[in-house]
Amino acid sequence: MVQMSPNASSSEQGPKQPCKHLQGDIADLLEKEWLITNGLGGYASGTVIGCPTRRYHGTLVWSRMPPLQRFVMLSTMLERLTTPDNQTMDLSTFEFNGAIYPQGYQLLQEFDYETAPPEPWVRFTWMVGDTKIIKRIKLFHQEPHCTITYEILPGASGVHRFMVKPMLAMRDLHYLRRKPNGCPFALQTLPNAVHVQCMTDKSISLALAATGPMAQQTQFGEAQDWWYNFLYRKEAERQMDCGEDLYAPGWFTVQGEGPLVLQITAVPGVEDVIDGVRRAWMAPREQPTESWRISGPREVKQLSRAAQQFLVERKTTTGHSMQTILAGYHWFGDWGRDTAIAIPGILLSTGRFEEARDVLSTFADHQQNGLIPNVFDDRGSGCAYNSVDASLWFVRVVELLAEATGDTAIWQGKLGKAVRQVIESFITGTNYDIRAQESGLLWCGNPDTQLTWMDAKFNNRAITPRHGLPVEINALWIHALHVAARHAAGGAGDKTNEWSVLARKARQHFAKLFWYEEGGYLYDVVRDNFFDASLRPNQAIALALPDCPLPIEQQKRALQAIQDKLLTPYGLRTLSPDHPDYRGRYEGSWGERDEAYHQGTVWPWLIGPFLEAYLRLNDFNQAAREQARTWLDSLLHHLECDACLGSINEIFDGDAPHKPRGCVAQAWSVSETLRALLLTIPQDPMQRNGNGHHARRIIAGIAPGLLL
């Protein structure tokens, strides 16, 4: 018999105020999602009523090669209570081709969650007559397994029976399972446990065992079964395959008088059920170096908790582990550009300097021809380098890390050498037609490439072709030249003078080339005799830089144009609504969504550079801080109440009511909202070191000693 109990956790202390997450009709409830993560790329996610609406939802999603190669292992559970008078109630909620069955959500009283490590959890509470049933799904930091615990608290005496049928997908994160001819799984059963192994890939296996205080009283009964045609409505909205068949190996059952506990531990990737579960519980717990549960303003705490979900471990083929940042849940891996943009908010703002250094080192180790990886392959087979700005953002973040720590040695170490390699490669020319011109400005790409963050491509056609001289790329390039020269990055020696001269030359050409006088803003892209006057938010990145290569009055005019046409309650539109190519809704087929991705769709991360530019151009005065704070209100409400509770979506529709779309939790959305919020909080100079950055792990605007 398997009988093990977890250590008591102090992290399970949810909000005490009345729960408001279950308000609304069934359609509203199916729009509200939750996400908890384990720091390995794995996670659990679903809706607040437990009904899966995405192929990516699951009670346990396992990363076989952290943080990628993810598999939906344990999809969901059928939960059934039998009362002393033999009434049977199913507590679960599923959707089948438009029919909601069972309808356990009607008995659901509360939903609550905690995303912070070391043991993030979600909790569902049902009432069946006078019997309370509490379900907790719990993950563990740096551990791949989970526990699902049910407490049955009867209001009256009599024998209650509680049964749970695990529903297994055991398939790649991106694909759906349909029942084949014959059973694709092999079973090993014990009186209170089962081990399921995929016959086509034996590394994909799942041990399910009763653990906890009533493990010996819990029985597993084999009853192999398939449930057909689960409907995932979010996939249907995206016009993707949306139906799935799930496999059930049998029932876990506990019964008796008085309070009952049924706890199931699910452990992926093990060969033996008893050994696998024992090792899961007996292995030393990996704890975060410092809790992310930060005291201070509620919004700062919430954003800090959201931020920690993206910092994950990357394992190499040699077994070495380093830190990296996932771009977004549920489907993104770690991207160079997204990581560099996310580091200032997720790590530097929270004082996690060593983690920032580790993440930057991960990408520096994979630099090639001056290019920082754009993305790591989901199968672990290498990197793609089709990005010009990942390398430029990398330089910017190395600069910010050096300033934050006061460590000038960074410039002569691995990171400084990587910066030097970026500069030298871009000057002499590297892959994807990236090369500095005689003017000092940086040319990148050709009609077949998409090298900036506006990288949507469908049927081998770039939706927003930006080859040539993109505005934000050149602003970042000029800044990178200045920074590398100033710090003699990588022991540059006499090359620093060459870099400084090139930076000054590029700066002089920038204002003349990019300023669009008639519109009062910057051209988005210039190439040959083509000047793209589309009003886009990329210039906000240039305006946010401390050495923006544009006269102040022109900066103010450009910022006003952005505010007038691109600013929404959730970030900046990617194209002005008066442009003929504007798409106000991100919906429809894959191709239709790609057409809208950067053609009007709102991106929350852009609120960071916009507010930074706004505050800088207004000298960070109190009125500007107050105005900037109001522009964050809708995003902060979304964080707390909409879509994926406790995080921020990747994108929103350009048109009101700006429905959240894309990934439900995006690293740079959270990062830049947190960074922008902290910019609105006046700083106490007594808490800052000589470089103007926090020397200790202190959130801006929060007094020392308030970190838990």
Nearest partner of 374 among 366, 361, 384, 382, judged by Cα? 384
HSE at residue 187, side-chain half, CA atoms within 13 A, is 17
Distance CA 401, CA 14 (A): 34
Distance CA 536, CA 470 (A): 11
- CATH class for the region spanning 298-687: mainly alpha
What is the model's pLDDT at position 156? 85
What is the model's pLDDT at position 460? 85
Higher pLDDT, 478 or 494: 478
Percent of the chain with pLDDT strictly greater than 70 = 91
Q: Once rounded to an integer, what is the mean pLDDT over residues 642-649?
A: 97
What is the model's pLDDT at position 379? 65
**Three-class secondary structure of residue 409 per DSSP:** helix
Residue 703 pLDDT exceeds 80:
no
3-state secondary structure 498-566: HHHHHHHHHHHHHHHHHEECCCCEECCEEECCEEECCCCCHHHHHHHCCCCCCCHHHHHHHHHHHHHHC
Q: Which of 79-83, 581-585, 692-696 has the lowest mean pLDDT?
A: 692-696
The answer to whether the 26-280 and 298-687 domains have the same CATH topology is no
CB 38 within 8 A of CB 244: no
Supply 357's token pair.
């250094």
pTM of the model: 0.92
Give 298-338 pLDDT, tens digit per residue. 899 899 999 999 999 987 666 678 899 999 999 999 999 99
DSSP letter string over 671-703?
HHHHHHHHHTSPP-GGGS-TTSS-SSS--TTS-
Q: How many other CB atoms are found less than 10 A from the CB of residue 444?
A: 24
Distance CA 465, CA 457 (A): 9
HSE at residue 675, side-chain half, CA atoms within 13 A, is 28
CB 121 within 8 A of CB 136: yes
Domain residue limits, the chain: 26-280, 298-687
Nearest partner of 53 among 667, 644, 669, judged by Cα? 644
What is the model's pLDDT at position 689? 36
Residue 398 pLDDT exceeds 50:
yes
Residue 1 pLDDT exceeds 80:
no
DSSP letter at 97 equals T
- How much is the mean pLDDT over the chain? 91
What is the model's pLDDT at position 350? 87
What is the model's pLDDT at position 273? 87
Residue 528 pLDDT exceeds 70:
yes
φ and ψ at residue 375, rounded to 5 degrees? -160, 150
Distance CA 118, CA 595 (A): 41
Give 184-225 pLDDT, tens digit per residue. 999 999 999 999 999 999 999 999 999 999 999 999 999 999
Q: How many other CB atoms are found less than 10 A from the CB of residue 85?
A: 7
Nearest partner of 38 among 153, 117, 133, judged by Cα? 117
What is the model's pLDDT at position 380? 59
Residue 705 pLDDT exceeds 80:
no
Q: Once rounded to an integer, what is the mean pLDDT over residues 445-453?
A: 95
Confidence category of residue 291, pLDDT binned at 50, 70, 90: very low
* CA dist list (Å): 457 to 326, 331, 336, 448, 449: 22, 18, 18, 10, 9
Question: Does the N-terminal peptide bond of residue 657 adopt cis geometry, omega within 30 degrees of 0?
Answer: yes
One-letter amino acid for residue 10 of the chain = S
CATH number assigned to the domain with residue range 26-280, chosen from the 4 options 3.40.50.620, 3.30.420.40, 2.70.98.40, 3.40.1710.10: 2.70.98.40
Q: Once rounded to an integer, what is the mean pLDDT over residues 480-490?
A: 97
